[in-house]
Structure 1
Amino acid sequence: MLYLASQSPRRRELLGQLGANFSILDVDVEEVPFPEEAPIDYVQRVARDKALAGWEHLTREAQADALVIASDTEVVLDRRVFGKPKDADDAVDMLQALSGHTHEVISAVCMVSGKREEGDVSISRVRFAALSEPEINAYVATGEPFGKAGAYAIQGRGATLIEHLEGSYSGVMGLPLFETARLLRSFGVAV
């Protein structure tokens, strides 16, 4: 049985696009970078921590034959990791920093079973248009930036902020489908 260790409706939607049957595990993992931790290492660690937390939950319930997949996605500009905004002011600050710049979106996926653990990572480059203060405030007022790394949603109104995308659209959304499908196949899951 396949389980997705995620609270994200976007990840559920994306994994569903692959046609795999899965159930949801609600895991809570601390998402704070270690001092001097490289952004890619941080994102991979959090994805792994989520998968392992899901696996530990299942093994307590005697489901040792299960597979658990988890992901983490972060926006990075000049080695600064932009998590989810705490409030409207934080969202405005993030969008102002991203305005007119190209940033990276790192999306890591990790899969664990009783016998092995594997992960993969997708790195996309996203260029924001130069945004005015009224544009930023109007976008934040929609509520869409909340709960989203970097304070925007590429699959929503946030798409209007983006001049150029190089990489994985699904990775920017929160689950890189190419890497995810490759991992699922390697664990014997049909997609």
Structure 2
Amino acid sequence: MRRIILASASPRRKELLKQLIGDHFVIYPSSYEEPLQTELNPEELLMKHSVEKARDVAKHFNSGIIISADTSVICDGEILGKPNLPERAEKMLEKLSGRKIQVITGLTVLDLDSAQEISESESTNVWMAKISKEQISAYIRTGEPLDKAGAFAAQGKGAILVEKIEGDFFNVVGLPLFRLGKILERLGVSVFEDELS
């Protein structure tokens, strides 16, 4: 069985990968620190982060396939990270209200056995509903927005804020499963096998 390594501590990515390949993977979070300032556009930056995360984890393994991803919400060309504070979450949600935004993931799959590194990006369009101040306050009180990129979780209570999605829903959650499955196939790994080979 090929060893699959998820270079992420995200519980959402863990659940999504489990949905795709079962329990046939280990988790080894990257210690790569993302630079604060960069000249890259959002898509290039997310791709760079995913590549660096995969390469960082690769130092600790001799064989296997490493999967890393970096997902962000983009509004007006600006990356919206995790707000961490209620005041920041409020400002983000006010900005997103009634807007069309993008969720972009940089995805890297690094096959240590064949020395192949495949990096691609996935972009999903999301139309946010108009959100009242009362809704924003109530949503923030749930605590859900604080550790979510863009201050909402489409797979959680934040679903009520999302009017329409064009593209890969799983990308919005944090791991574009269709694209990942296609990359794994190119590396000779079938997600339909009980024992990944």
* TM-score for the superposition, normalised by structure 2: 0.90
Task: Please report how far the alpha carbon of residue 28 of structure 1 lies from its aligned counterpart in structure 2 after TM superposition.
Answer: 2.7
Identity percentage of aligned residues: 38
Instruction: Tell whether the 8 Å contact from 1:34 to 1:42 is kept in structure 2 after alignment.
Output: no
Task: Specify which of 7, 10, 16 is matched with residue 8 of structure 1.
Answer: 10
Inter-partner Cα distance in structure 1 for 2:43 and 2:37: 12
Instruction: Tell whether the 8 Å contact from 1:92 to 1:136 is kept in structure 2 after alignment.
Output: yes
Kindly report which structure 2 residues correspond to 1:128-167, keeping only aligned pairs within 5 A, or say none: 128-167=128-167
Inter-partner Cα distance in structure 1 for 2:46 and 2:26: 23
Segments of structure 1 that go 5 or more residues without pairing to the other structure are 59-63
Inter-partner Cα distance in structure 2 for 1:93 and 1:57: 40
Kindly report which structure 2 residues correspond to 1:46-61, keeping only aligned pairs within 5 A, or say none: 46-58=49-61
Paired residue total:
186
2:81 is aligned with 1:83: yes
Inter-partner Cα distance in structure 1 for 2:32 and 2:86: 24
Instruction: Tell whether the 8 Å contact from 1:119 to 1:183 is kept in structure 2 after alignment.
Output: no
Q: Deviations over 1:140-159 (max 9, x none)?
A: 11011122110110000000
Q: Which amino acid aligns with 1:151?
A: A
| Equivalent residue number for residue 127 of structure 2 | 127
| Equivalent residue number for residue 37 of structure 1 | 40
2:25 is aligned with 1:25: no
CA RMSD across the alignment? 1.3
Inter-partner Cα distance in structure 2 for 1:29 and 1:135: 36
Task: Please report how far the alpha carbon of residue 32 of structure 1 lies from its aligned counterpart in structure 2 after TM superposition.
Answer: 4.0
Instruction: Tell whether the 8 Å contact from 1:33 to 1:42 is kept in structure 2 after alignment.
Output: no
Inter-partner Cα distance in structure 1 for 2:106 and 2:91: 25
Segments of structure 2 that go 5 or more residues without pairing to the other structure are 192-197
Instruction: Tell whether the 8 Å contact from 1:105 to 1:172 is kept in structure 2 after alignment.
Output: yes
Q: Which amino acid aligns with 1:29?
A: Y
Inter-partner Cα distance in structure 2 for 1:51 and 1:162: 31
Task: Please report how far the alpha carbon of residue 27 of structure 1 lies from its aligned counterpart in structure 2 after TM superposition.
Answer: 1.7
| Equivalent residue number for residue 195 of structure 2 | none
Q: Which amino acid aligns with 1:81?
A: I
Inter-partner Cα distance in structure 2 for 1:33 and 1:171: 24
| Equivalent residue number for residue 102 of structure 1 | 100
